[in-house]
Structure 1
Amino acid sequence: MPARADRPKMIFHVPFPLNPGATSASGIRPVMMRRAFEDLGYDVIEISGRHPQRRAQIREVKRRIASGLRVEFVYSEAATTPTGLGEPVTWQTSVTRDIAFLRFCRRHGVPVGLFYRDIYWRNDEYAQRVGQPYTSVLRWRYRADLRGYRTAVDRMYVPSMRMAEVMPYTDLAKCTALPPGAVIVETPAVEDPATMFYVGSLGHYYQLQEAVRAFEAVDGASFILCTNAAQWESEKSGYEHLLTGGATRVVHATGSELEPYYAVSALGCLFMAPIGYREFAAPLKLYEYLGHGRPIIATEGSLAAEFVVQNGIGWSVPYTAEALRDLLEELRRDPSIYREVAARAVAVRAEHTWKARAAQVADELAQAAPVA
């Protein structure tokens, strides 16, 4: 959107290139948030790209701010890697430039908010996957980022406050939950509530065997499991022996290719083996299901299940095939239960769009009082 003098200005900063074609949550989220700020009416000054691009952009924006440019606020999103280390190291690499820029903005009276994605780097599995000495070096830089944010950021946005509670070097009073947003898609109603759609990864963090067992045990039920072909090839040995009744269909699709599967599925699936990470994770797919007006079945004990129950948009179920089977059969016996929850999902979803998330940021940062 072209800049206009009558539009309020905000800075959108990420220490990596934006990818409009991203398929992972970490790539989708910043693209959607940037678009949402434009939809709110802001003239977005973007700082993104690799080190040479950001270096030039930062230099120019700092010059303009020092010359009197009025900026309402800065919204930044941290990378999944330590700041500055998510790309090949060259002579222009800096692990401090991006955070120093945020600090510069605060000193010039511009409120700064930053979204911090996750703390997977603290897990033992991260150390096993990355190995030494890289784990020690990267963890040192992750901690340095968090220490830097203490003076560079007015408001720290996190997927959930549960995550904020276990983040080191973080002032809880400065933290606010900012989960993903929904894109509203008008999707036709489905008559049979015993039809469910899962879209996402498979593997250690995403185990759906009990969901498959449940659907295979319900006559005429349908479970569409959508993941990429490579992950299915890697994980199918853990599922093939469960495919006994023809209820489960494995597909590979992305983007608009998903819509036919949403159209024939009454439920969204977050029913997967519980792990500690899910106690504070806010999965993007929850809001994708919600955007389609689909009630959600989530594993008991997860943050997603808590959200689903609090908002009346689905069910929290223990991770057993028997518990899921019983729920499916109950919904079939009394479809009015399903229809009531589906109507609630359609009513609630407008409160959880990307535009609503951007509006939250704008409202909160307008009240911030940065250090002069």
Structure 2
Amino acid sequence: MSERPVMIYHVPFPLNPEATSASGIRPVKMRQAFGANGYEVLEVSGRHPERREQMRALRKRISSGLKVEFVYSEASTTPTGLGEKITPATSLARDVAFLRFCRRAGVPVGLFYRDIYWQFEEYAERVGQPYTTLLRWRYRADLRGYRTGVDTIYLPSMRMAEYLPPENQPQTLALPPGAERFDPPAPSSGISLFYVGGTGGYYRMQETVRGVELSPGARLTICTREGEWAESAPHYVDVLGGSTTIVHKSGADLEALYADAHIGVLLLEPLEYREFAAPMKLYEYLGHGKPIVATQGSLAGAFVEENGIGWSIPYGADELSALLSRLQAHPEELDAAQARVREVRQQHTWEARARQVAADLTER
């Protein structure tokens, strides 16, 4: 019999170790972090039939006296139960009912609630009707279920709490993404910027591109999905020049791009959504030891300012160009930011996030 403390790790979808998007990467990293912190992890994941059997077995074990320290769950980006093909095994209530069972059995339950994008008009424009109305109804049903099924709702940032129903807000705590440590080298000359992520919709960054093009000795690499860039490219025609390179890579192929960068970029057009969004790429830059230039007023910008790990500036080409000129004239400022990043990232690992959850839920 294992002497390690036992926890349940629940997600209403299959875990994918090969995931390349933040919504797929985070659940895998948190699952691994709890194991690395010494827990015996009893996992509930997969499609509806798999989860049904796993939850049925765990209900029996808990009812028979299994001691479980806590349950940690991560919500899907879709309403619970609707992220896969509808079959006779589909249930929209089973997962939340399992969390409620655990809580009523005396097991503390924490759940990470990933996103509130579904409340914004951009979501309705992208999804269309009648699907927006249907999906929003199910998102709200999930939040109602969490009031009795969950002790703590974790959010990427506490700024997001005000977008939840008032009944859920007292349940909330912040649990941002984590950083995985890498130590790539940095280029020895010039000043190189790197951005990985979307380029359309609410990831517009034309002023950032224009700012680099205005800066002699600076260059920018944008890594984005090929299909997304095909849609976005026409909106960048007027600002693209010889200092910007567009690539389409993921996974391990990103490491060479990080090694070719001095600075990570989160200088994006200001939007209300970005005021509370905690982008995983911020923590990926942090993990790779790269200082960050971010938009002033965004959550990322506030994090950069508070921790002294880069520069929070207004979203504008002239502002970025002025910063790049200053850094090239005073390379010691860039060196100091790089040193500070390597210091700060120790507090933001995935293992640190998992320890926070364990402390929150077991020391209540």
TM-score w.r.t. length of structure 1: 0.96
Distance 2:119 2:113 in 1: 14
Helix, strand or coil for the counterpart of 2:238?
Answer: helix
Give CA-to-partner distance per residue, 1:179-204, whole Å, 9 cap, x none.
Answer: 10001001114444621000111101
Distance 1:191 1:211 in 2: 23
Is the 1:190–1:266 contact (alpha carbons within 8 Å) kept by the matching residues of 2? yes
Give CA-to-partner distance per residue, 1:132-189, whole Å, 9 cap, x none.
Answer: 2222121111111101101111111000111011211543332110010001001114
Helix, strand or coil for the counterpart of 2:229?
Answer: helix
1:268 is aligned to 264
1:1-372 aligned at under 5 Å gives the runs 5-192=2-189, 194-244=191-241, 246-368=242-364
Is the 2:190–2:217 contact (alpha carbons within 8 Å) kept by the matching residues of 1? no
Helix, strand or coil for the counterpart of 2:13?
Answer: coil
Is the 2:103–2:150 contact (alpha carbons within 8 Å) kept by the matching residues of 1? yes
Distance 1:13 1:286 in 2: 26
Aligned length: 364
Cα distance 1:320–1:141, how it changes in 2: closer, same or farther (>3 A)?
A: same
In the TM superposition, residue 279 of structure 1 has moved relative to its aligned partner by: 0.4
Give CA-to-partner distance per residue, 1:95-142, whole Å, 9 cap, x none.
Answer: 111111001001111100000011111111212222222221211111
Q: Identical aligned pairs, as a percentage?
A: 59
Matched residue type, 1:230: G
Is the 1:222–1:247 contact (alpha carbons within 8 Å) kept by the matching residues of 2? yes
Matched residue type, 1:309: E
Distance 1:315 1:170 in 2: 37
Is the 1:193–1:328 contact (alpha carbons within 8 Å) kept by the matching residues of 2? no
Cα distance 1:317–1:192, how it changes in 2: closer, same or farther (>3 A)?
A: farther
Is the 1:193–1:335 contact (alpha carbons within 8 Å) kept by the matching residues of 2? no
Is the 1:268–1:294 contact (alpha carbons within 8 Å) kept by the matching residues of 2? yes
Unaligned runs of 5+ in 1: none
Give CA-to-partner distance per residue, 1:210-256, whole Å, 9 cap, x none.
Answer: 11111111112110111111111111112233233x11111111111
Q: Could you say what the CA RMSD is over the residues aligned between the two structures, in angstroms? A: 1.2
Helix, strand or coil for the counterpart of 1:363?
Answer: helix
Helix, strand or coil for the counterpart of 2:277?
Answer: coil
TM-score w.r.t. length of structure 2: 0.98
Is the 1:25–1:284 contact (alpha carbons within 8 Å) kept by the matching residues of 2? yes
User: Greater shift after overlay, 102-111 or 129-138?
Assistant: 129-138
Is the 1:146–1:170 contact (alpha carbons within 8 Å) kept by the matching residues of 2? no
Helix, strand or coil for the counterpart of 1:11?
Answer: strand
Distance 2:139 2:201 in 1: 24
